[in-house]
Structure 1
Amino acid sequence: MADLTLDPALTNRSDGPVIIVAAGSQETVRSSGAHSHCRGQLFGSTRGLITIGVDEGVWVVPTTHAIWVPPHRVHWARSHGPFQGFAVYVAEPDCAVLPAAPCSIRMSGLLREAMLRAARWPAGPLDARGERLAGVILDEIATSPVDALGLPLPRDARLLRIARALADDPADDRTLEDWARWAAIGARSLSRHFVAETGFTFTAWRQRARLLRALEMLADDVPVTRIALDLGYSTPSTFIDLFRRTFGATPAAYRQRFVAA
């Protein structure tokens, strides 16, 4: 298919092809509000960067990964800068063997090439060759490694209020004690429950939120120095060192992945 726009009637019915694949590009920001459909969906980019959210968390997704969302799960998405991407819609009965919860999977070359080939199919029933390729795509989704690439959100309403405020403004440098007073929770309780509900200490979670926002800003072509200062780092070199330790490349080198992919 030439673009990512599909008739909602196709994604909200499980009869028809086992998979429906769309692929396309857009030079401006692409955004979809919170929605759900009865088909499961795998989506990601082959160029550029997207942010995808569900109730449990938010992912900033580079071209090396894709996000799987099971049927009927509410989700939203937004691209950053020029974007080229794909979406695979899987009939609900065939999702039984796929991950039961939203997750980030590492893309294999086989999955990428199979999807891009399927995106060129005309709409309608699959022939025998199409059914075989659809089977390969489902096998790859089912067996691809799951990576903890996202930003998990806590369930407690007080902690969730803090997390959403920090996700909106990762540069906010209030201390844990300040946030505890703001959300009317004890500082020790905040610290303990944050680890229990997200798997991260409060400090590590906030650092992760800043780094994921940095990826978005890199994709939007924001200068590295401005990113560092806007996100509250004391110096650009502090930001660059932390980014390199986390992602294995400097911010400038990582930015090239969005362009070259």
Structure 2
Amino acid sequence: MSSPRRQAASCPAPGAPRVTREVRTLPVVAAGAVAVPFAIQAYDEIVAHDTTWGEHSHPFHELLWNERGASMAVVGARVWTITPALGLWMPAGTLHSGSAIAGTWFRASFFGFHTTPSISDTPVAVEITPLLRLLLERLGDAPLAPASRTITEAMVLDVLEPSPRELLVHTPTSALLRPIADALRADPGDQRTLANWSAQLGVSARTISRAFSAETGTSFARWVASVRAQHAVALLTRGREVEAVAEEVGYRSASAFGAAFRRTTGLTPAAFRAL
């Protein structure tokens, strides 16, 4: 795989120190278009700066997960947050972009398109269980004897499966819902209810609720919870205190925030922050 082209972009915020964002460019390659000499190959990196990957695709399947920190993958209007507990399976040939917060230690496992059937035709979350983590780390350790590698790869494929739990936000794009989406993503602590938005937009709450279900596949309340969880992951990765994060993303108490965060990510805020 060729090395990505990189360029640095400055992203200063008012009153904040200058922050450098690294932008990387990778090619668009069709599924199976390039022969690869592996069944499963491991890659990992600690990003020194906030980093963005432009839209690209791979000839092989990819499992993305983190040893530490948070990253995102974007496919169309769908945005997944990747954590140490929740990874993402990206089928070969899927056009996607991504980003990672400075200090994130991300890992990727590449699966040969011609040797490994995809666990899903579309991107899907994968729970990074202790067993799966150990197996993937073993493949990335010192060179294994061929027989040991074959056995370990078979065990990875045996335990690898989609997870019903995922940190996914499907961004609505209709003229009706776009103001709500823009407001909540800009300020996840926004406390406006369906009734408030109904009055502001001049449509019934039922109309908004139906539109959310049709466009995102989930309810307004669940969508808001997912937006808040994604924002909280980014803040915790940057070292913010749990109580401050809870307040910023709109929870009345750290305990309520903790329960919601654990339901979504599989970790308590404190446990995630300690990674």
- Superposition TM-score tier, normalisation by shorter sequence: 0.7 to 0.9
Q: Residues 253 and 145 of structure 1: is their aligned pair in 2 closer, same or farther, counting only changes over 3 Å?
A: closer
Q: Residues 108 and 245 of structure 1: is their aligned pair in 2 closer, same or farther, counting only changes over 3 Å?
A: closer
Task: Please give the secondary structure, in 1, of the residue aligned with 2:184.
Answer: helix
Length-normalised TM-score, structure 1: 0.75
C-alpha distance in 1, partners of 2:146/2:268? 43
Question: Which of 258, 262, 275 is matched with 1:244 structurally?
Answer: 258
C-alpha distance in 1, partners of 2:91/2:262? 31
User: Is 2:165 aligned against 1:147?
Assistant: yes
Aligned residue type for 1:147: R
Q: Any conservation in 1 of the 2:43–2:109 contact (CA below 8 Å)?
A: yes
Aligned residue type for 2:223: W
Task: Please give the secondary structure, in 2, of the residue aligned with 1:189.
Answer: helix
State how 1:201-220 maps to structure 2 within 5 Å: 201-220=219-238
For residues 29-70 of structure 1, the C-alpha deviation after alignment (integer angstroms, 9 at most, x for no partner) is 343233222211101111222233222522223311211111
Structure 2, gaps ≥5 residues long: 5-25
Aligned residues with identical type, % of pairs: 24
Question: Which of 84, 90, 104 is matched with 1:63 structurally?
Answer: 84
C-alpha distance in 2, partners of 1:50/1:162? 24
Note the C-alpha offset of 1:147.
1.8
Note the C-alpha offset of 1:114.
2.0
Q: Any conservation in 2 of the 1:68–1:105 contact (CA below 8 Å)?
A: yes
Aligned residue type for 2:258: R
C-alpha distance in 2, partners of 1:19/1:33? 24
Of 199-208 and 165-174, the range deviating more from structure 2: 165-174
Question: Which of 150, 154, 158 is matched with 1:131 structurally?
Answer: 150
Structure 1, gaps ≥5 residues long: none
Question: Which of 242, 254, 257 is matched with 2:272 structurally?
Answer: 257
Aligned residues: 245
C-alpha distance in 2, partners of 1:57/1:180? 25
- Structure with greater helix percent: 1
Note the C-alpha offset of 1:243.
1.3
Length-normalised TM-score, structure 2: 0.72
Note the C-alpha offset of 1:84.
1.9
Aligned residue type for 1:200: T
For residues 142-175 of structure 1, the C-alpha deviation after alignment (integer angstroms, 9 at most, x for no partner) is x354423322344756435643553243234455
Note the C-alpha offset of 1:178.
6.5
Q: Residues 166 and 14 of structure 1: is their aligned pair in 2 closer, same or farther, counting only changes over 3 Å?
A: farther
What is the match of residue 25 of structure 1?
A: 46
Q: Residues 175 and 40 of structure 1: is their aligned pair in 2 closer, same or farther, counting only changes over 3 Å?
A: same
For residues 93-152 of structure 1, the C-alpha deviation after alignment (integer angstroms, 9 at most, x for no partner) is 345341222111111223212222222467xxx9444333223223332x3544233223
Q: Any conservation in 2 of the 1:162–1:183 contact (CA below 8 Å)?
A: no
State how 1:1-261 maps to structure 2 within 5 Å: 13-120=34-141, 127-141=146-160, 143=161, 145-154=163-172, 156=174, 158-159=176-177, 162-176=180-194, 187-233=205-251, 238-248=252-262, 254-259=269-274, 261=275
Q: CA-atom RMSD, angstroms?
A: 3.5
C-alpha distance in 1, partners of 2:215/2:226? 15
C-alpha distance in 2, partners of 1:39/1:157? 37
For residues 234-260 of structure 1, the C-alpha deviation after alignment (integer angstroms, 9 at most, x for no partner) is xxxx141321222349xx96234343x
Note the C-alpha offset of 1:183.
7.5
Q: Any conservation in 1 of the 2:262–2:268 contact (CA below 8 Å)?
A: no
Q: Any conservation in 2 of the 1:56–1:153 contact (CA below 8 Å)?
A: yes
C-alpha distance in 2, partners of 1:112/1:186? 47
Q: Residues 76 and 165 of structure 1: is their aligned pair in 2 closer, same or farther, counting only changes over 3 Å?
A: farther
C-alpha distance in 2, partners of 1:33/1:65? 22
Note the C-alpha offset of 1:180.
6.2
Aligned residue type for 1:255: A
Q: Any conservation in 1 of the 2:242–2:269 contact (CA below 8 Å)?
A: no
What is the match of residue 15 of structure 2?
A: none
Q: Any conservation in 2 of the 1:63–1:258 contact (CA below 8 Å)?
A: no
C-alpha distance in 2, partners of 1:121/1:161? 51
